[in-house]
Amino acid sequence: MVLLAALVGEAAPARGDDLSTRRQALLLLRVLVYDRNLQARAHGAVRVAVVFRAGDRRSEEQGEEMAAAMSEVARQVVAAGLPVEVLRLPYRDAADFEARLAAAAPTCLYVCDALRPAVKEIARAARQHAALAATASREMVNAGLALGVVRSGLRWSLVVNLPVAREEGADLDAELLEIAEVIR
Amino acid sequence: MAKPDSALRAARTATFESHRSPWRAGALAVAAAVALATWPATAPAKDQDDRIDVATLDLRSLLDPEVEAVGLREERASGAAASVFVLSAEDIRRHGFRTLEEALRAVPGLFAYADGLGPMVGVRGLGLLGDRSTRLLVMVDGHPLNDSVAMGGSRLGRDLPIPMAAVRRIEVVKGPVGSVYGPTAFAGAVNVVTASASSGLELAALGEGAQGAARAGEVSALGAGDARGVEWLATVAGYRTRGLDWTFPEYARASPPDPAGGRVTGRDAGHSLQSYARLSWRDLTVSGSCGRWRAGVASAPYSSLLRDDRNALEDRACFAQAVFSRALSPEFTLELRGSYDDALHQGSFAYPPPPDGRGTISDHGRDRWFSAGARATWDAHSGTRVLVGTDGERHDTAQRASGAAPGDPLRPVGEASIDRTFWTLHSYLLLEQALGSRLVLHAGLTFYAHELFGSRLTPKLAAVWRPTRSDIVKAIYSEGFRPPTVSEALFDDGATYVANRSLRPETVRSLELAYERRLGSAATLSASVFQNTYRDLIGLASVLPPGAPSPEQAVPSDFRLTAMNLASLRLRGGEIGLRVSWRDLLQGWAGLSVQSLDRPDQPNFPALTGSFALSSRALWRPLTLSVNGSALSARAKDPVVSSLDASARVGPTFTLGALGSIEVPGARGLSLELGVENLLGARRADPVPGQFAPLSEIDGPPTTLRAGVRYRY
């Protein structure tokens, strides 16, 4: 309990939303470790790219908040022995995004909510570059992203789109699939 | 040391944007303030060797909010202003706990006891005989299950209306929580948090065998899903037992002696049905539950006939509630609740037929109540949190006794009954103020008013100090009170009970100092010392009713039971615990609680309680092996009945359970389990109150073999 407390936040007057984003970041990293191909896909470091819609202020803020929370957590943890690196990746259009993705070579994408209309393009790029695409939206997992870290009220749940996760190169452990809601 | 980019960016954005949208600028300013306020957490990167590997963290714990019961909001157990213990669904599954009482027995500082009418749980040495959970608040997702009549079910055994399959987490608050919940949280509170609606189906079939025969079976099903934005969860469980073979040596020694040596076979056969369903749509959650438990009573209390199938109890409890919770702004959250509860208890006991006896006497108690409440939370920018709320309840209670024939020479059965309608009002204010990054002060005040038993203010003060990342110190002052139950004050069945309308509420004042230290990334050590001062504790006493012969001329059957303010006690103690989570190698906890009482002859008071629960998947990952145990020191018996027997105490007890479960390779979702309760066959006797005379103690269950199969899709 104390360990989780230390990672999720201090006893300082941190607000609920701040804690919530950090918890989401920690959950995402924890889930990545269930990928039996993580070592092979990571190439020495787990790189998490936070994808936001360029020019959409709300999406940029969400991406910024998530990247900050992820960086905060990344300072304190490793994932299956690998250091965690965080970068921000703007989405303008499919071609630009694919080029950026190829250059950044992330292990995992965290896709912000405003990119719902571009899910198919992002999923296709994620497949090509073996990056596991995650989101906070259940609908976006249904639409083709691999992993959802979804909050409903006070509760968190995981949604795994198993065929998509496999296409993106992940081999997820059965223990995770027991806990998560699985789309087969 | 550079400040975090996020804080600087947020602060900059707040400044530049403030002229466009004050509302949004305010939110951004809050984000900036928070980021800066949490600056101590944003320490420079550690060396990689010092970092924690996320692989060591328990995913299920991460998915859960850690505790809601202390401050009526999600918070970390370590930072909560109380001594809290949390059992996860994984803990329950690993150890095969099948009832709430079994799970609570494993919690350090708690101890379970029973009197043949139902299980009860004591907290830190306080476990009054015949308590029926009137001092331990039992909730489902914050909804209280305890009724005002309180003549029957404890909601800790099979009479809990929700199936254990629906439980995601059990939060246990040790010590009075009157400043949050009002009267019933006198000794502590237990909040059962239900499972989230992850799509899927879970089926389970479980069986029990003891004394060389199959004894009980249980089946349960749970389904959950999401349709058009509506999350749903439904679960149902059925249980049936043939009962056990019991021997009550004290009946054989009674006068006149029982010719069969006190042997009773299968008279506690019973069955239960539990159900729970929940629908969630956006900010609205609607849930409901119904449970029924009926069982025979083997021990023949109230001088009823031994080995008679008419000795039986039945409990029914149903509730439905709707909760609407919405964050109206980043700082302000509003929650509205409305619910309806219906709790019914019936008991029947057999006596010789008239004119020599009373025939069959039935007690009937029912409490139906509507409740409505509102709660608002305000998170101010400066580390201040204010929570204010109020709940009102309107109760309709009925209690009566009926008999085949009026056999009581003093007062005919069924003449006196209770039909009362009354209201209660419970308003509370909880304040939190962070002073710097290390210290948080808590204050709480509750106003509780009962139409029949008056009103009371209950305060609480606490400080939570985190001197280092690994250490937490809590200082807690809390109070609790408990008005008499309707049964205690008003019940008069003309056969066994006499009303006492002059009862005063019980009170408790509690002081506690707690310390918690993280030992590396795999263990947490906790220790606390506490002092509880109880006043006017209510217990049952034997009296002669009006119209009875003088004490010199009275015979034992002339005496009746009545509730009285019997005792004021001061209890001092300490508790130490260790919780371990070391990958698959070892998971679990152990704890020891030692307490002393200024009146050590208090019945059922244990000077020492201990418990542990450990599990491992080290041998083979699909195989989980677990072991759990609980220990109790010797306890005094009720002096009313122990005077009939040479022994004034029940001996120390130690019970051990073990369970092995395996996820069948190649059959995804299928698991098998095999376990033993009371592995060592230890005798575990609990003292019983005077109405069980000539019995002064009752044994716990014998060694029981358990097997089960579960399938998750």
Taking only the tens place, the pLDDT of each residue in B423-457 is 999 999 999 998 987 899 999 999 999 998 889 89
> Which residue of B20, B62, B66, B711 to mutate against A (max A Cβ within 10 Å)?
B62
Mean pLDDT for the stretch of residues B472-489: 90
Instruction: Answer with the residue of higher pLDDT: A179 or B463.
Output: B463
pLDDT tens-place string over residues B580-589: 877 678 889 9
Percent of chain B scored above 70 by pLDDT?
85
Q: Cβ contacts (< 8 Å) between A4 and chain B: which residues? A: 57, 61-62, 66, 76
Q: Is the pLDDT score of B43 beyond 50?
A: no
- The pLDDT assigned to A151 comes to 75
CB contact under 8 A, B379 and A8: no
B344 in Cβ contact with B316 (< 8 Å):
yes
Mean pLDDT for the stretch of residues B84-94: 88
Mean pLDDT for the stretch of residues B302-329: 91
Q: How confident is the model at residue B379 (pLDDT cuts 50, 70, 90)?
A: confident
Cβ contacts of residue A176 below 8 Å, gap of 6+? A31, A34, A158, A160, B59
Q: How confident is the model at residue B233 (pLDDT cuts 50, 70, 90)?
A: very high
Q: How confident is the model at residue B42 (pLDDT cuts 50, 70, 90)?
A: very low
- The pLDDT assigned to B239 comes to 98
| Helical residues (DSSP H) of A33-118, grouped into ranges | 38-42, 57-74, 94-104
pLDDT in tens, chain A (184 residues): 434 444 444 333 333 445 578 888 999 999 999 999 998 888 889 999 999 999 888 889 889 989 998 998 888 888 988 999 999 999 999 999 999 999 999 999 999 988 999 999 999 999 999 999 999 988 899 889 999 998 765 567 788 999 999 999 999 988 788 778 888 7
Closest CA to B679 of B697, B706, B661: B706
CB contact under 8 A, A30 and B40: no
Instruction: Answer with the residue of higher pLDDT: B298 or B132.
Output: B298
Could you say which of B38, B52, B712 has the minimum Cβ distance to residue A14? Answer: B38
Partner A contacted by B77 (CB < 8 A): yes
The first and second tokens of residue B61, run together, are: 């714990």
The first and second tokens of residue B344, run together, are: 């019914």
Could you say which of B35, B46, B518 has the minimum Cβ distance to residue A3? Answer: B518
- The pLDDT assigned to B111 comes to 96
Which chain B residue is nearest to residue A142, measuring alpha carbons?
A: B226
> How far away is chain A from the Cα of B162, in angstroms, using its nearest Cα?
19
Give residue B526's Cα distance to chain centre.
21
Fold for the domain defined by B63-712: Maltoporin; Chain A (2.40.170)
Cα maximum dimension of chain B: 93
Q: Report d(CA B559, CA B554) in Å as an integer.
A: 8
Q: Cβ contacts (< 8 Å) between A64 and chain B: which residues? A: 6, 9
A109 in Cβ contact with A86 (< 8 Å):
no
Q: Cβ contacts (< 8 Å) between A148 and chain B: which residues? A: none
Question: Domain segments of chain A: what residues?
Answer: 23-183
* First vs last C-alpha separation in chain B: 51
Could you say which of B13, B41, B668 has the minimum Cβ distance to residue A10? Answer: B41
| Selected residues 355-384 of chain B with any CB under 8 Å from a CB in chain A | 379, 382-384
> Which residue of A1, A24, A84 to mutate against B (max B Cβ within 10 Å)?
A1
CB pairs under 8 A between A and B: 191
Tell me, what's the ipTM?
0.85
Partner A contacted by B14 (CB < 8 A): no
Could you say which of B61, B231, B472 has the minimum Cβ distance to residue A4? Answer: B61
CB contact under 8 A, B472 and A23: no
Q: Cβ contacts (< 8 Å) between A147 and chain B: which residues? A: none
Mean pLDDT for the stretch of residues B403-420: 57
Q: Cβ contacts (< 8 Å) between B518 and chain A: which residues? A: 2-3, 6
- The pLDDT assigned to B644 comes to 55
Q: Cβ contacts (< 8 Å) between B41 and chain A: which residues? A: 9-10, 12, 14, 72
Amino acid at A122: I
Partner A contacted by B655 (CB < 8 A): no
> Which range among A168-182, B8-22, B215-229, B507-521 shows the weakest confidence by mean pLDDT?
B8-22
Mean pLDDT for the stretch of residues B187-198: 85
CB contact under 8 A, A176 and B59: yes
Percent of chain B scored above 90 by pLDDT?
49
Partner A contacted by B223 (CB < 8 A): no
pLDDT tens-place string over residues B660-680: 999 998 887 899 999 999 999
Mean pLDDT for the stretch of residues B259-269: 89
CB contact under 8 A, A15 and B200: no
| Selected residues 549-588 of chain B with any CB under 8 Å from a CB in chain A | 579, 581
Query: How many C-beta atoms lie closer than 10 Å to residue A122's C-beta?
Result: 26
> How far away is chain A from the Cα of B463, in angstroms, using its nearest Cα?
12
Q: Cβ contacts (< 8 Å) between A13 and chain B: which residues? A: 34, 37, 382-384, 434, 440
Which chain B residue is nearest to residue A57, measuring alpha carbons?
A: B13
> How far away is chain A from the Cα of B518, in angstroms, using its nearest Cα?
6
Q: How confident is the model at residue B4 (pLDDT cuts 50, 70, 90)?
A: very low
> How far away is chain A from the Cα of B159, in angstroms, using its nearest Cα?
27
Mean pLDDT for the stretch of residues B650-664: 94
Q: What's the burial of B467, exposed, middle or buried (CB within 10 Å: 0-12/13-18/19+)? A: exposed
The first and second tokens of residue A166, run together, are: 């496999």
- The pLDDT assigned to A16 comes to 40
A180 in Cβ contact with A158 (< 8 Å):
yes
| Mean residue pLDDT across chain B | 84
Q: Cβ contacts (< 8 Å) between A178 and chain B: which residues? A: 669, 712
Q: Cβ contacts (< 8 Å) between A82 and chain B: which residues? A: none
Instruction: Answer with the residue of higher pLDDT: B367 or B154.
Output: B367
Could you say which of B53, B63, B79 has the minimum Cβ distance to residue A80? Answer: B53
B70 in Cβ contact with B84 (< 8 Å):
yes
CB contact under 8 A, A1 and B59: no
Q: Report d(CA B177, CA B501) in Å as an integer.
A: 26
Given phi > 0 = left and psi -120 to 50 = alpha, else beta, which region is B12?
alpha
B196 in Cβ contact with B168 (< 8 Å):
yes
- The pLDDT assigned to B123 comes to 95
> How far away is chain A from the Cα of B712, in angstroms, using its nearest Cα?
8
Which chain A residue is nearest to residue B323, measuring alpha carbons?
A: A153
Q: Cβ contacts (< 8 Å) between B464 and chain A: which residues? A: 11
- The pLDDT assigned to B478 comes to 92
Q: Report d(CA A28, CA A170) in Å as an integer.
A: 14
- The pLDDT assigned to A10 comes to 33
CB contact under 8 A, B38 and A64: no
Place of tokens 């550079």: B2
Partner A contacted by B76 (CB < 8 A): yes
Could you say which of A13, A83, A179 has the minimum Cβ distance to residue B37? Answer: A13
Q: Report d(CA B572, CA B591) in Å as an integer.
A: 17
CB contact under 8 A, B86 and A1: yes
Could you say which of A33, A67, A179 has the minimum Cβ distance to residue B55? Answer: A33
CATH of domain A23-183: 3.40.50.2300
CB contact under 8 A, A78 and B470: no
> How far away is chain A from the Cα of B335, in angstroms, using its nearest Cα?
12
Could you say which of A16, A138, A157 has the minimum Cβ distance to residue B379? Answer: A16
The first and second tokens of residue B604, run together, are: 């059922």
Using DSSP, state whether B622 is helix, strand or coil. Answer: coil
| Selected residues 270-309 of chain B with any CB under 8 Å from a CB in chain A | 280, 285
Instruction: Answer with the residue of higher pLDDT: B557 or A7.
Output: B557
